[in-house]
Structure formats: structure tokens, C-alpha cells
Chains A and B, each alone.
Chain A
């Protein structure tokens, strides 16, 4: 008995210590004493309780991705593609292909006998997308329908693109803790801490239709050599700026290419450097500088987890834009076992791409989404037929390569089928509103907690004191877990903490009333404590489970502040089971365990 009690004290003290360590960074921030934290803590315990945007102000937006539009756009494109192909390859004189409904294509052949030219072998090329849904030989009409698996894929990609695009744009904003969550076909964007002056600008930026462009790099240029010279000369002004050298060979001829570029961990510094250039050194008007974020390499050339921004010297004119792409997908190159991305262009796009690739063999082509270079593959040969393959390079592991390939596909498709985003929900909160609400919530929380603490002391005396300690520990553990998870505290979340205060003592009341009953029945203090805790445990457990069920449902239903509430509530419930049952039990064991004739103040 005594021994096990010692173990428990050690265990609980350790737990509490861990909880306090997790809580320390958040507490330091609230008190404005960040600098007083020991360095080891700053290094290892970084997660903090974040304040939700209802508390610190900010912008909350929900966009609906109009997935049906993505499907009908695809149907439109397939229809015009079919028309053209039937004319060119099957020599059909007159055919009209039109979308009907969301996912059907009606073809009308004149004369009707021409409909026979649309046969199985022709459709084979489209089998991933379409199947024949009916045909009237006499009228010369054929109905095609988009494959439902493909429709699902389109919808899924449309939302994924939306998320990708929004993330790209939000990354540019330098907001402290942005969250972008996908919820069905909705995209939820939360930007806590954003200043009201920026709301308008940020909404514009996020809502814009994405632009995908392909531009050629002008490698080995005199200008970049000159620019690197300037960068070296002004090293003291821009300490982060470095010069990089790049080299590769043409696959067929072996002609070497080399290039000089600038790199910097801080993109802002790069931009400042470029903006500060004198008129003579400025970027020529028919060129521009693009930026790509790449893994940094150490002196031996192996990649490190750090990321740096590097420049590309590009021809300003875009060779192609995303609108010429009809599809993009991830494939596996059977020879190398590496993933590759294949891109399909429409007829005009195929011509443009053939010309562009033919006259730029050996050069790098930058794929640019929203002014950020996503990838810059080397063109190995003249590419005709409207299909291009992008081999994923680098030394990364296969899984990472595949992830990169998927991201690139999402980017390429963004250009192909920009599914429109529709704003369905918007909340703007100024910072003052939050501050005022927090003050009042704090006050009501204090009054409420104080009332509960006093009541327990009065009603149950020493045992009430134990319940109060358990309740305080409950809040400590609850906040510590929130901090460890880096969870977001919202206004309803504070209500959740306050509510936990009220609920925390409930378990104790249920147990205490049971102990009283046992005492009335004539049991000894120790016997009553054993029986009270033992019998009441399952009652308390069941009650906690039903609360938890409600919390889980709430979590899956709500967004933003409501979710914050559900998280606090659920964590509170779990901690409460621990503090009110086990922690307070230990304190009781200490009181009744030492003497034979212990009395209980309950």
C-alpha cells in the first residue's frame, strides 16, 4: 500500500512536470516574457497554444470548388477534340459534337452513314474517358458518356488543384499560422492575425484564377554573368546572396550547357537586390527573373533538408499557357522505375509546343504557376504529337519523387481546367473585437470557477479540497495537451475550458455521494473509499463516454471556432477521467491509508 502510493506520487509528479514544460512556452507568450525561457526549451518545445482568429482577429474564408464545372469543361474539350479527330483521321465531312447535360456528348453525323466511322477502334484511344451510351444509325447520332470513375477523378483533382493554388498564394502572404483544409468539395482558409487593412488585398489574391505559363530559360547569358559580378561586389549589403553554377549536357549531341544563377534562403533579399539594381544593370525588358524553391546542397553536392530560392533568367514571352493542356498524369517509366509526368496538349498546343521544343533543345523550360517556378525540366528533343513527358530528376527517394510528380500534375491541371472557386463563407474579425471578448470570457471564467471551488470546499470540506486540486490539475493537463498539439484556442474553446471546470467536479460529486452512502451504511473510512471509487467508476466512465461521443460528432460537424471548442472539450473529458478518478483516489489513499481508524472529512 505505502509502496504503491510512493510510485503513484512519483508518476503524477513526473506527468505534471512534463505538462508544465509543454505549457511553459504558451504561458511565456501570454505574459510577454518569451526571452526568459531557457534555451533548451526554446529549441525542443516549440508547440504553443495558438489563438484562433476570433481571438486575435483575422480572416476566415470558405471556398466551394465548382467541381461540376470542371467536369462539364472537360466534356466540352473532349467534344471539340473528337470533332477534330474525326475530321482529320476518319475523314468525316460533317460532324457536330456537343455536350449535353454535365457529362454527355452528343454527336450528329451528316450523312447519317458516317456514324459508322466512329467505331470501337476509334474509341479505344478514349476508353479512359468515355464510353458509348447509345446510337441511332438511321439518324446518325451517337451518344457518349464520360466514365464515372473518371468523373470522380476529375472532381477530386479539381479540389486538389484548388487547395494547391490557394496554398501557393497563401505562402506568399507570410501570415504566421495559416490553415488550409479541404472539407469535401470545400476549401477552408484561415488566416489568424491578419490585419484588417490587408483583408481586401488577400481576398483578391486568393480568389484569382490561376495562371500557368511555360517560359524558356536563356542559359549561359552575358547578363547573368554581369549580375553575379554585381552581387559579389555588393555582398556586404546582401549577405545572404550567393552565386550558384549549373551544368548539364544535351542528351543526343552531348553539347554542354552551363549557367550562373543567384540563390538565397530569403526570397525577400533576392527581390530587394533585384529592385535595387541601377539602370545599367537592370533586367533587360524582354527578359525576366523567375524564382524556384529548391533543396539546398552542401559543399559536397548532396541535398540537405533546407530550402533555398534560386533564380532563372527567362525570356519574358510565354511559349505556351496552361489553357493548351488537355490532361496531365503520373506514369512510371518502366526502364528507370522512376515516376514521370506526361502532359497532353490540344491540337493548337501541340503545334506550339513542337515549335518551341524544336528551337530550344537542351534548354530548360520553366513551368510557372502564379509567377512561381514549379519545375524546370530540360528539353531533350523536338516533341511532336502533342504529348510530352517530364522525367522527375534529383536523388530523392521514390516516395518523395512520386509526391513531387503528383504535385506537378496538380499544377499542370490547374492550367488545363481551372475549376472556379466560389466564396461561400466569409468572416472578418478585427483585433479589438477579440480582445474585448477574451477579457469578458476570462472574467466570467474566473467567477464561475471560483463559485465551484467554494461550493466544493463548503460542501465536502477536505474532500472538496481534493476535488478542487484535481480540477486545477485537470485544467493544467488540458492546456498542456492543447499546447503540445499546437492546437488553436478559440472563443468557444475558452467556453469549453470553463465548461470543463463545471464538469470536472461532477465525477467527484458522484464518487463522494457514493462514499457518503457507504459511510452511512456503516463502513469504515477506508472501506467506503474503496467501495465508493470502485462502484462509481463505471458510472463516471459511461458518462464520460457519452460526452466524448457528442464531442466527436461536434468535431466532425464544425469548422473553425466550433472545432476549437470540440477539441478542448474532448481533451478536457479525457483528462478529467484521469484526474477525478485516479489522481483524487491517490490523495484519498494517503488520507485513509496511514491510520487504522482514519476519519474522512467529506
Chain B
């Protein structure tokens, strides 16, 4: 017989099934910890998870400064020019040396609070009764105005400017007799740049590599959709497994997958890494991938169950896990190393994705052996014992 290069020798017999309660207990502890991290984070760090801009709503701007900058001074410069509560984080692996990430709640140049002031200024300048409608789309970049009489667009622009609101264009729309106007506001990045240059000196900003802004409604929808799609994927996979194997195998997969998803989220809660759309994508990938190991183990259990009819079901499971242990570990290892490389040398999005995959591969492998299999045994003992003996008798 040929010799193989083996990490795990065949004929080993590690006891898994007998220690079921121990591992289930550990899993339960980790799941509880993951969930408990949410309220803990809420009080300790301010948010349940370090939600990215896509879930939190607001604006995230990367600013590359021309020289060394102090986060405190940046925050002050923003504060003094109308951007309250700006989070300033230095980015270490950016393309430019002095790059900071600025994050704040505003998504447009005009804030809700400013709206009444602007309205009052318009009334004062153009005539108290002449302004019929003043519409500001929240999160929008436009103002809609309607007057009783024709007004020169330049006059509107002038009034807005006196209130510190710069605009790109004031244009008429609608019927001429409507006297309706549309004001297109200046983009936030332009505003941030001028705020920073005012506070830190002209030329302080070298470049703005990226801007991302998400309205409040979009962000809550995205998060809800994300959770929905996770559950949907889990259910689809469970149904597939229940059909391909038999329905005893379904509940184990669904719990193992939930377990994986919760633990990955827990890892993000604990490390307070940014939790974004990409994280949801990574969790979905983890869910798909973590099934691979479960299928390998389940497949062997099914094969052995018909072969080793004289053995008790939990023994069959234990033998199957042992027999497939080397491939379970090897397959996970290859994906783990690839994603580890991305975690170490990748940047931004890639790194967060890889981190989620790293955690996911580990908990996914763990859960196929220590969560999915014990639940299968338990279900079998609890509900199918009689079915088993009957088939044995007839065989």
C-alpha cells in the first residue's frame, strides 16, 4: 500500500458524540456572548455594532491631508463650520499618507434645523406673504420654492447665500404662472473641503478619495433586507438538505447555520469592526460555505447508517465524524489560508470581508461537527427511535 503524507492518521478514534453536552454548552455560551455583546456595546461604545455608513445613515468622507494632522483639530474645524459630532479616524493603509475617515450624520448641506431659518430669511427678503410653498426633501440635495409672484432666481440665490447656503443653480420649473423654483444645492464634499480649509488653512486638503452618503430610510431598509436575505438563504439551504437527505437532517443544518451567522456577527461586535453591506455578504458566503463540511459529515453518516446497522446511531455518527475529519479540516484550511492572506495584505473592504470569512470558516467547521451532528443524534433518539428499531427488525 502506498504511503500518504497525512496530517491526521487514519484509524484514530476521537470521542465526539459522547462529549456532546460539553460542546453544545460551549456553543450556547458563545452564542449568548455574541448576542449579549449587542446591548453591552450599546452602552459601552455607543452602538450595538459598529455599523458602516450603509446601515447607520449619514456621510463618510475620506480626506487626504497635505501634511500631518491632529484628529482633534480636524474635529474642531468641522464643528466650527456646521458639521457636528464628526467621528475622525486615521486610515493606516490608504493610498495617501495622511488620510482620515470623517463620518457624520448629515447627508445634505441643509440640515432640518436650518430649514425654518432659511424660510424666514426668504420671507423677510421677498415678502412675508409671497412664499407659498417651501419644500425640502430630507436627505435630498434640492429645495422647492413657490411664490405668489415672479421672483428673479438671482435674488433667491442671494438670500440663500446670506444664510450660508451655497447653490449650484436656481431654476424655474412647472408652469410660468406657478412661479415655482428648484434650488440645487452644492454637494457635501465641496462643503467639507471648504470647512476644513477654513479651519486648518488653505491647501490643507490634498484630495478627497471617496465620499459615501446614505439616507436614513435607505439605511434601515438595507439592514432589514440584509437580515431577511440571511434568513431566506438559511431556509433555502435547509429545505435543500432536508430533500436531498431526509428531514431529520434539516433542523441540524438550520441551527448550525444560525450559530455560524450569530458568531460571525459576535466577532464583529466584540472587535467593534465596521459592520457593513460587505459583512452581510461575507456572512451569506460563510453560510453557503460552512454547509460544505456539514454535507461531508452528513453524507458519511447516511452511508454508514445503512452499512453499520448493528451499531447505535450515536456511534455511527462518531465513526463518521472521525472518518471524515481529515477532509473537513483540510478543506477548511485551504479557504482559511487564502482568506487569511486577504486579511493580512488586503485593504478596507477586502480586509473586513476576509476577517468575516476567517471567523466563519472556523465556526462553520466547528458547527458541522459539534452542532449539526449532535442535533441530528438528539432528533434521532427523541423522535425516530421506534422507526429505527422497526427497520432493523425487518432487515
Which of A62, A200, A557 neighbours the largest number of chain B CB atoms within 10 Å of its CB?
A557
**Docked-complex contact B285 and A569, CB < 8 angstroms:** yes
**Docked-complex contact B237 and A436, CB < 8 angstroms:** no
> Which residue of the partner chain, among B62, B173, B337, B346, contacts A440 with CB atoms under 8 Å?
B346
Indicate if A45 sits at the interface (CB-CB under 8 A).
no
**Docked-complex contact B229 and A557, CB < 8 angstroms:** yes
Chain B contacts for A425, CB-based, 8 A: 54, 213-215, 218
- The stretch among A204-212, A249-257, A405-413 that forms the contact with chain B is A204-212
The residue on B at minimum CB distance from A461 is B5
> Which residue of the partner chain, among B140, B277, B346, contacts A423 with CB atoms under 8 Å?
B140
Given the complex of chains A and B, what is the CA–CA distance between A585 and B68 in angstroms? 59
Closest CB in chain A relative to B151 CB, distance in Å: 17
Chain B contacts for A323, CB-based, 8 A: 174-175, 178
Residues of chain B touching chain A, judged by Cβ–Cβ distance below 8 Å, are 1-2, 4-5, 7, 10, 54, 62, 93-96, 137, 139-142, 144, 168-169, 171, 173-176, 178, 182, 184, 186-187, 189-190, 207-215, 217-218, 225-226, 229, 232-233, 236-237, 240-241, 244, 277-278, 280-281, 284-285, 287-289, 291-292, 295-296, 299, 303, 323-324, 326-327, 330-331, 333-342, 344-350, 353-354, 357
**Docked-complex contact B284 and A426, CB < 8 angstroms:** no
The residue on A at minimum CB distance from B57 is A424
The residue on B at minimum CB distance from A494 is B350
Indicate if A343 sits at the interface (CB-CB under 8 A).
no
Chain A contacts for B289, CB-based, 8 A: 503, 547, 550
> Which residue of the partner chain, among B173, B210, B335, contacts A209 with CB atoms under 8 Å?
B173
**6 nearest CB pairs, A to B:** A550-B288, A502-B338, A448-B341, A436-B95, A502-B335, A448-B338
**Docked-complex contact A551 and B288, CB < 8 angstroms:** yes
**Docked-complex contact A557 and B225, CB < 8 angstroms:** yes
Closest CB in chain B relative to A324 CB, distance in Å: 7
- The 14 listed contacts between A and B (C-beta, < 8 Å) are A321-B176, A418-B173, A420-B137, A425-B215, A428-B208, A429-B210, A430-B210, A440-B93, A451-B338, A460-B5, A522-B1, A543-B292, A545-B240, A548-B288
> Which residue of the partner chain, among B229, B296, B347, B350, contacts A554 with CB atoms under 8 Å?
B229
Indicate if A452 sits at the interface (CB-CB under 8 A).
yes
| Contacts beyond the supplied A422-B139, A542-B244: 18 A-B pairs with Cβ under 8 Å | A432-B209, A433-B95, A444-B344, A449-B338, A451-B338, A451-B341, A499-B339, A501-B338, A509-B334, A519-B2, A543-B295, A546-B237, A547-B291, A550-B284, A550-B285, A550-B287, A553-B229, A558-B281
Interface size class of A (residues with CB under 8 A): 35 or more
The residue on B at minimum CB distance from A601 is B2
Known: A495-B354, A510-B296, A543-B291. A452 touches B338 (CB 8 A): yes
Chain A contacts for B336, CB-based, 8 A: 502
**Docked-complex contact B209 and A556, CB < 8 angstroms:** no
Chain B contacts for A199, CB-based, 8 A: 187, 189
Closest CB in chain A relative to B64 CB, distance in Å: 9
Known: A451-B337, A509-B331, A602-B4. A546 touches B240 (CB 8 A): yes
From 495 to 512 in chain A, residues with beta carbon under 8 angstroms from any chain B beta carbon are 495, 498-499, 501-503, 505-506, 509-510
From 518 to 571 in chain A, residues with beta carbon under 8 angstroms from any chain B beta carbon are 519-520, 522, 535, 538-539, 542-543, 545-551, 553-554, 556-558, 561-562, 565-566, 569
Chain B contacts for A566, CB-based, 8 A: 281
Given the complex of chains A and B, what is the CA–CA distance between A428 and B208 in angstroms? 9
Known: A440-B93, A543-B295, A553-B233. A429 touches B209 (CB 8 A): yes
Closest CB in chain A relative to B54 CB, distance in Å: 8
Indicate if A491 sits at the interface (CB-CB under 8 A).
yes
Closest CB in chain B relative to A507 CB, distance in Å: 9
From 190 to 232 in chain A, residues with beta carbon under 8 angstroms from any chain B beta carbon are 196, 199-200, 203-204, 207-209, 211
**Docked-complex contact A448 and B278, CB < 8 angstroms:** no
Chain B contacts for A426, CB-based, 8 A: 211-214
Chain A contacts for B178, CB-based, 8 A: 323
Residues of chain A touching chain B, judged by Cβ–Cβ distance below 8 Å, are 54, 62, 64, 66, 196, 199-200, 203-204, 207-209, 211, 321, 323-324, 418, 420, 422-430, 432-433, 435-437, 440-441, 443-445, 447-449, 451-452, 455-456, 458-461, 491-492, 494-495, 498-499, 501-503, 505-506, 509-510, 513, 516-517, 519-520, 522, 535, 538-539, 542-543, 545-551, 553-554, 556-558, 561-562, 565-566, 569, 599-602
Known: A519-B1, A542-B299. A324 touches B182 (CB 8 A): no
Chain B contacts for A209, CB-based, 8 A: 173, 182
Closest CB in chain B relative to A539 CB, distance in Å: 5
Known: A203-B187, A423-B140, A440-B347. A502 touches B339 (CB 8 A): yes
Chain B contacts for A558, CB-based, 8 A: 277, 281
> Which residue of the partner chain, among A437, A461, A505, A546, contacts B350 with CB atoms under 8 Å?
A437
Closest CB in chain A relative to B299 CB, distance in Å: 5
Which of B336, B339, B344 neighbours the largest number of chain A CB atoms within 10 Å of its CB?
B339
The residue on A at minimum CB distance from B281 is A562
Known: A546-B291, A599-B2. A321 touches B175 (CB 8 A): yes
Closest CB in chain A relative to B346 CB, distance in Å: 5
Given the complex of chains A and B, what is the CA–CA distance between A301 and B168 in angstroms? 46
**Docked-complex contact B327 and A510, CB < 8 angstroms:** yes
> Which residue of the partner chain, among A54, A207, A321, A601, contacts B184 with CB atoms under 8 Å?
A207
The residue on B at minimum CB distance from A560 is B277
**Docked-complex contact A513 and B327, CB < 8 angstroms:** yes
**Docked-complex contact A203 and B347, CB < 8 angstroms:** no
Known: A430-B207, A432-B95, A440-B346. A452 touches B288 (CB 8 A): no
Given the complex of chains A and B, what is the CA–CA distance between A548 and B287 in angstroms? 11
Closest CB in chain A relative to B180 CB, distance in Å: 9
Closest CB in chain A relative to B136 CB, distance in Å: 11
Which of B139, B174, B281, B350 neighbours the largest number of chain A CB atoms within 10 Å of its CB?
B281
**Docked-complex contact A428 and B210, CB < 8 angstroms:** yes
**Docked-complex contact A208 and B175, CB < 8 angstroms:** no
Known: A441-B350, A452-B334. A538 touches B299 (CB 8 A): yes
**Docked-complex contact A550 and B237, CB < 8 angstroms:** yes
Known: A513-B327, A562-B278, A562-B281. A491 touches B349 (CB 8 A): yes
Known: A437-B348, A492-B353. A422 touches B137 (CB 8 A): yes
Chain B contacts for A424, CB-based, 8 A: 139, 214-215, 217-218
Given the complex of chains A and B, what is the CA–CA distance between A461 and B6 in angstroms? 12
Chain B contacts for A429, CB-based, 8 A: 209-210
The residue on A at minimum CB distance from B327 is A513
The residue on A at minimum CB distance from B231 is A553
Chain A contacts for B241, CB-based, 8 A: 542, 546
Given the complex of chains A and B, what is the CA–CA distance between A558 and B281 in angstroms? 8
Given the complex of chains A and B, what is the CA–CA distance between A93 and B262 in angstroms? 68
Closest CB in chain A relative to B288 CB, distance in Å: 3
